[in-house]
Structure 1
Amino acid sequence: MPEAAPAPPHPYTLTCPPLPTSPRMAREFVAAVLRSLGLDELLDAATLCTSELVTNAVLHAHGTDSLLHLTVEPTRIRLTVYDGSPAKPAPTDRDDDGENGRGLWLLEVLTDGRWGTEPGTSPGLNGREGKGVWCELTTSTPLTRSLS
């Protein structure tokens, strides 16, 4: 009989190259993890937040890889994207007709303000000075599904 999986948190990590395809790959990665754990209620918000975080890293981290770190806990998930740029994201004036400027506003709305930045970088990025931008989403149904 397989041994029971330890209680969450469970970490999942994806390295994202500085390519236009990285946001899509990151969304699919997060969606696959959440579906496998039965956390479908978080899919839409989590994939949109993932897309915004990874897109910002691709656009603003000056050609460096980024690292998506997803932590799943019983009642919440935390998405963090580390990149090689120490510059903190700054909200811009939203242009309702433009293509840019909505990312941080979307994070604010989708996470009820549970997002922020942390200095430093993940070990997976070779120690470059950088930052992590994170957000948290909560679930109304605690994670109980076995991971084995």
Structure 2
Amino acid sequence: MKSIIKGRWVIFSIWLVVTILLTVIQPDINAILRQQGQQGTSSNSPSVIASELLKKMETAKGSDNLIVFYDEKKISDDEMEKIEDSVKAIRSSSSELGVTDMIDPFSIPDAKSSLVSEDGTTLMVSYKLDNFQLG
């Protein structure tokens, strides 16, 4: 037992070198799968779709912003209508305000599940603000 305690730095060093060595020489699993005729990550997997979405979003210039509406009980239908009217007003004045892109649950129903919380207390509107309009 004393020899293990005395040699702990040697054991740690060996463990570290082996870990680094194995990390460096590990095979590329995706390349092996492609060689055997199997596809690595499918084109309809969530990670690939998200990556493509991010690439598209990064092409637009401006700063990403988020408007969050919250009611601790639940956003009522009346409040939801007022929010929708406000979003429509922002969208109609987007050129004057410098808003270049807007994602909201009213004009894009598919985004509703991502922008409205399950309990109905929170609603988000994502928009891109043109940096040149800020100056």
When normalised by structure 2's length, the TM-score is 0.31
Choose 1 or 2 for highest CA Rg. Answer: 2
